Structure 1
C-alpha cells in the first residue's frame, strides 16, 4: 500500500465512489435531471436574493458552463414553475417551519421550492427521489445542517402531496411511517 492510499493515521483510506475529495458528488455521476435541479437552484437563488426576473435569470443561466448537460425542459419547469407558484409553495412550506420564512437561507428556501414543486407537478419522479435529490442539493450548496431542515420539511409534506405513493412505500417497508 502506498502513502497515497493511507490516511495520516497510517490506516487505509476509505474510497467513496461518486464523490470528489471534498465530498461533493462527481460531475460524471450526476444525471441530466440532477444537473437541471442544480441550475434551477442557482437561478432561484438569484430570484430570492436579487429579485431578478425569471427571463433575465434564465438567459444568464443558460450561458453557464455545463448547462448543455442539464435537462433543459426540467430546468424550465422548476425555475418558471417555482417562481410563478411561489406563494402557493410558500403556503405549503410555512406551516412546517419553526421560524419565519425570512429567516430561512435562500438556498434552503430554493431547495424546498424545488421539492414541493416536484411533489406537486413532476409525478413521474418518485417522491423518495425528489426527497433524496433535494437533500443532496442542500448538502452541496447549503449550510452545514441545512439538509436536515430540508429533509424535515419535505418529509412532512410528502404524505400530504403524494399520499398514495408514500402510503404504498410505508406498507412495503420502503418508507418510515
Structure 2
C-alpha cells in the first residue's frame, strides 16, 4: 500500500474517531491518535495535511456533500462513509494536482475496505456528482493519471 493511501486511511480514521467523540479537535487528540497509529513520517505528514484541510473547510465540505445526497440527511450517513466523503471532497476542492479518477478510486476502495455493504457504490455515486459539479471535464485535474 502506498504512502498516500495509508495517509488517506489514517486521516479518515482520525476524523471518524473525532466524529464519534462529538467534540472539537484538541491537540492532544492528534497525539493520542498517532500513539496508537504508527506511520512513517511522510505518511503522517500527508494524513495531517488532509485532516487539517478537512477541519479548516468542514462546513463548506459538509454543505457540498449534503447537496449531492438525495432523500437522505447528512447526519444519518455512516460515520465511515461521511469521513471518506469529507476527505475526497477536500481533495476535489483543494488539491487540483490530484486527478479526479485517483480521488474517486481511492475513496471507493477505502470505503469498501473500511465500511460495509454498498458503501463503495454509495460513495462512488455521491463523489461522481460532486466531481462533475466541482471539476470541469477535460481539465488536467479531471483526467490526468497520477500515482496514488
TM-score range relative to shorter protein? 0.7 to 0.9
Q: Which has the higher contact order (CA 8 A, sep 6+)?
A: 2
Is residue 47 from structure 1 mapped to residue 18 from structure 2 by the alignment?
Answer: yes
Instruction: Look up the match of 2:45.
Output: 73
- Counterpart Cα distance in 2 of 1:130 and 1:154: 9
Is residue 96 from structure 1 mapped to residue 96 from structure 2 by the alignment?
Answer: no
1:129 aligned to 92, 96, 102, which one?
A: 102
Aligned residue-pair number: 140
- Counterpart Cα distance in 2 of 1:54 and 1:148: 33
Structure 1 or 2, whichever has the larger Rg, is 1
Q: Do the aligned partners of 1:35 and 1:70 also contact (CA within 8 Å) in 2?
A: no
Unaligned runs of 5+ in 2: none
When you count helix as a share of all residues, which structure comes out higher? 2
Superposition RMSD on alpha carbons, in Å?
Answer: 2.0
- Counterpart Cα distance in 2 of 1:168 and 1:125: 12
Instruction: Look up the match of 1:119.
Output: 92
- Counterpart Cα distance in 2 of 1:80 and 1:70: 15
The TM-score normalised by the length of structure 1 is 0.72
Is residue 161 from structure 1 mapped to residue 134 from structure 2 by the alignment?
Answer: yes
Segments of 4+ in structure 1 off by > 6 A? Answer: none
